[in-house]
Amino acid sequence: MPTALPAAPAVTAIAPVEAQLAAVTEGMAAVEATEVEVDEVPEVERRLNEKEDDEVIDGTSQTDALHSVTIAKFDDPKLGLPESLIKGLYEMNFTKPSKIQAISLPKIWANRNLLAQSHNGTGKTACFVLGMLRIADARVKKPQALCICPTRELAKQIAEETHRMGKYMLLESGMTVKCILKEERYEKGATMPDQIVIGTPGKIWTLISLRVLDTAAIKVFVLDEADEMLTAGHGDNTKRIRKVMPKQLQTLFFSATWKEETVKFANSLKGSGGEASWAQVTIKRQHIFNDQVKQYYLECNGFKEKEERLGELLSLIDAGQIIVFVNTRDSVESLTRRLTADGHSVSSIHGKMEERARDKALKDFHDAASKILIATNVLSRGIDVPAVTLVVQYDMPVMHGGMYDPETFLHRVGRTGRFGRKGVALNLIENKKELRVLNDIQDYYERKAQIQEIPPTTDPEAMLALLTVK
């Protein structure tokens, strides 16, 4: 289950942050990222994937002046948001703060360091985007807010959200937002003048090393998908980045799930005296599964039958868009070839594709130029396509060594049923080993029998009814 967050001391101003970090290895790990979190904009109002009985837990001391302080509207005097920023929020159809926004924003405005955990689709991105927009000063031509996240796709989406949310504020102030992409190059001696910078840790660290990105003026440091940012693939660079930034700054960690590494890193930033002004908030759901998503599994007799059943199922469904998750790059490529040969409209994406090819695949899927997207875990976190009604787990998510991976399972399923919409998730089970992984994940989340079996003899009409969002 998610790791308990560290207790937060009762202090009211941003305090020194001591960088007591573990030794880091040289070089960057060449691994695929498993990411992501960004908000979508429905046509009428901004619907969120939260429930009435979601419990708000404020982990700060009960004697703290900000304990349980919330806002009921974005123009609440407690925040004092500028009119230009409020105008951008309303244009994006933000009607009132979600639970995570209501409890987090007063703490962010008070310069607290924050550990914030909330379910997918509850509006976490808006919290730290507003935090970055509020702190940057257009008169200072250096980076002042830095957000790092696991993949370039997520970085681009956060940058888009920042541009949209800060549309009028950026226009009035002259502030600029920079999304760092892997293929970008800078002339010798060039420095970055943008006030808000968003990117993945590898490229950010490279630009810091080249003295293109000056960290001296940074006032807020954001980790989105914080649990992923401190794993083997990103952890070394994340810690390096933090180590070269000013000791006194605001740190914001946001994630749907916590891992022990995240909590240890937060504790390391407190310093030996425990002085840092850390707050923590959790939006606790009795059952972390999204009940807006109907989940099923279908047992197949080996790999060949699984491949055939997927093709049959995709031929049945004529509404919505579909994401198919696999575990390896080879599987992405072979499955894409197979489904394309069968006449399906398919895009594909994995971490070793060239950046422009990844961008095109995601754009084609966003624009509905392709109906099906085959992906590795590079797309499992936070990428939002409103029309996705079905997620297929073609391979069950496992960690290195074959251990079941409940967090990745949760994030994959979370690509559908976003922001109050309904969705369907189907797990194609190849053998008893995969069935055991599925059962272990259900046990982990204490939702035994939540995922219903579809009998192999189910006729096409009944199958279509199960997999169609009503």
Which three-class secondary structure string do you get for the chain?
A: CCCCCCCECCCCCCCCCCCCCCCCCCCCCCCCCCCCCCCCCCCCCCCCCCCCCCEEEECECCCCCCCCCCCCCCCCCCCCCCHHHHHHHHHCCCCCCCHHHHHHHHHHHCCCEEEEECCCCCCHHHHHHHHHHHHCCCCCCCCCEEEECCCHHHHHHHHHHHHHHCHHHHHHHCCCEEECCCCCCCCCCCCCCCCEEEECHHHHHHHHHCCCCCCCCCCEEEEECHHHHCCCCCHHHHHHHHHCCCCCCEEEEEECCCCHHHHHHHHHCCCCCCCCCEEEEEEECCCCCCCCEEEEEEECCCHHHHHHHHHHHHHHCCCCEEEEECCCHHHHHHHHHHHHHCCCCEEEECCCCCHHHHHHHHHHHHCCCCCEEEECHHHCCCCCCCCEEEEEECCCCECCCCCECHHHHHHHHCCCCHHHCCEEEEEEECCHHHHHHHHHHHHHCCCCCCCEECCCCCCHHHHHHHHCCC
Establish if 279 belongs to a structural domain: yes
Cα separation, 305 vs 309, whole angstroms: 6
391 and 244 belong to one structural domain: no
227 and 168 belong to one structural domain: yes
Establish if 142 belongs to a structural domain: yes
Of 284, 318, 335, which one is at a domain's C-terminal end?
A: 284
Establish if 164 belongs to a structural domain: yes
Per-residue model confidence as pLDDT tens digits over 104-152? 999 999 999 999 988 777 889 999 999 999 999 999 999 999 999 988 8
Of 284, 319, 354, which one is at a domain's C-terminal end?
A: 284
Domain count, the chain: 2
191 and 224 belong to one structural domain: yes
**Among residues of the chain, what percentage have pLDDT more than 70?**
83
Q: 26-40, 134-148, 198-212: which has the minimum mean pLDDT?
A: 26-40
Establish if 348 belongs to a structural domain: yes
Establish if 1 belongs to a structural domain: no
- The pLDDT value recorded for residue 20 is 27
357 and 423 belong to one structural domain: yes
- The pLDDT value recorded for residue 358 is 86
**How would residue 214 be classed by pLDDT, with cut points 50, 70 and 90?**
very high
227 and 144 belong to one structural domain: yes
| Residue 409 pLDDT greater than 50, yes or no | yes
- The pLDDT value recorded for residue 285 is 65
- The pLDDT value recorded for residue 449 is 75
Mean predicted confidence (pLDDT) in 237-263: 86
Establish if 26 belongs to a structural domain: no
Flag whether the pTM goes above 0.85: no
Place of tokens 């999204």: 290
- The pLDDT value recorded for residue 182 is 72
Domain at 408, CATH number:
3.40.50.300
Q: In sequence order, which residues have a C-beta less than 8 Å from that of residue 355 and are 6 or more positions away?
A: 152, 181, 182, 183
239 and 112 belong to one structural domain: yes
Q: In sequence order, which residues have a C-beta less than 8 Å from that of residue 91 and are 6 or more positions away?
A: 164, 167
- The pLDDT value recorded for residue 181 is 80
146 and 246 belong to one structural domain: yes
Pairing mode, strands 278-284 and 55-58: antiparallel
204 and 69 belong to one structural domain: yes
**Summary mean pLDDT of the chain:** 82
- The pLDDT value recorded for residue 355 is 80
| Residue 38 pLDDT greater than 80, yes or no | no
263 and 339 belong to one structural domain: no
> 41 — phi, psi (to 5°)?
-120, 105
Q: Which domain holds residue 255?
A: 55-284
**How would residue 375 be classed by pLDDT, with cut points 50, 70 and 90?**
very high
- The pLDDT value recorded for residue 41 is 32
- The pLDDT value recorded for residue 420 is 65
225 and 359 belong to one structural domain: no
Cα separation, 189 vs 381, whole angstroms: 36
**How would residue 419 be classed by pLDDT, with cut points 50, 70 and 90?**
low
Establish if 415 belongs to a structural domain: yes
Name the residue type at position 71.
I
277 and 314 belong to one structural domain: no
Mean predicted confidence (pLDDT) in 342-359: 88
- The pLDDT value recorded for residue 408 is 87
194 and 78 belong to one structural domain: yes
- The pLDDT value recorded for residue 167 is 96
Q: At what angle do helices 124-135 and 152-165 cross, to 10 degrees?
A: 60
Establish if 135 belongs to a structural domain: yes
